[in-house]
Amino acid sequence: MRFDQKLVPATLLRRYKRFLTDMEMEDGRIEVAHCTNTGSMKSCIEEGAPVFLSPAKDPKRKTKFTWEMIMINGNWVGINTSVPNKLVFEAILNQEIKGLDMYSEVRREVKFEDSRLDIYAANETEKCYIEVKNVTMKLGNSALFPDAVTSRGLKHLNTLIRIKEAGMRAVMVYVIQRMDVDEFGTAVNIDPNYADGLKKAIAAGVEVFPLQAKVSPSSIEIWRVLPLINLVKTKD
């Protein structure tokens, strides 16, 4: 996935009210940028770190920029939670993900019962529902999800279980937008209910794809599938 406009460099000053950040631009002025990430952003927020912003396309929007990525320990970390959906949709459409490369019909934002899932894919013999989550949290060598309690995420897992029980394929995709990790698991002490829900989903036949993405100011690309590890605890 390539950015359709040139990103703007800046420096993170602070994040506040979850959705707002103060950014120092290269000319020294301060701009308020929108933060799409509603989580705690553990291990991917550092005041004074370099960042890249995308200019808002709507001239009437209150914030002129959206925060896209931050430099942490020499690596770009993608924090825009809207990116993974687009990235995975394009990759499935172009048959670029092994194991999800057999679909002739691919659509976004499809309802199943009382849930809205990110992607629906189908061919002549199979129907598949796919939910996509953004992962930025790091502990040691592991990428972890979630970084905050997510009742909505748990609801999606339960929906995927019901989809599988109905005889269709159900897939959970985690997009890890950082390159300084080698495995993926759940953060048990942050949200034990979600961790337990993922265990139950896997036992019910829901497939899990932890996809590591290479983030740069020009593009974000799926790099490899990370191994799924046993559920681990984060430090308090």
- pLDDT by residue (tens digit) across 171-208? 999 999 999 999 999 999 899 999 999 999 999 999 99
Two tokens at 196?
């337990």
Angle CA 121–136–233, to nearest 5: 105
In the block, tokens 């040691």 appear at 140
Overall average pLDDT of the 77-84 stretch = 95
Share of the chain above pLDDT 70, in %: 97
Q: For the purposes of burial, counting CB atoms within 10 Å of the CB of 71, is it exposed (0-12), middle (13-18) or buried (19 or more)?
A: middle
Rounded to the nearest 10°, the torsion over CA 215, 43, 195, 132 is -20
> Regarding beta strands 207-215 and 169-176, do their DSSP bridges make them parallel or antiparallel, or are they unpaired?
parallel
Two tokens at 52?
């890249």
Q: 88: part of which helix (H) or strand (E)?
A: helix 83-93
Q: What is the pLDDT of residues 92-137, one digit of tens each?
A: 999 999 999 999 999 999 999 988 999 999 999 999 999 999 999 9
Domains (range + CATH), the chain: 8-78 (2.40.50.580), 83-225 (3.40.1350.60)
Please, what is the angle between helix 192-203 and helix 151-165, to 10°?
Answer: 10
Residue 152 predicted with pLDDT over 80? yes
Share of the chain above pLDDT 90, in %: 91
Two tokens at 2?
């390539």
Task: Render 36-53 in DSSP notation, one character per residue.
Answer: ---S--TTS--TT-EEEE
29 DSSP assignment: -
Question: pTM for this structure?
Answer: 0.93
Overall average pLDDT of the 150-175 stretch = 97
Two tokens at 30?
């301060």
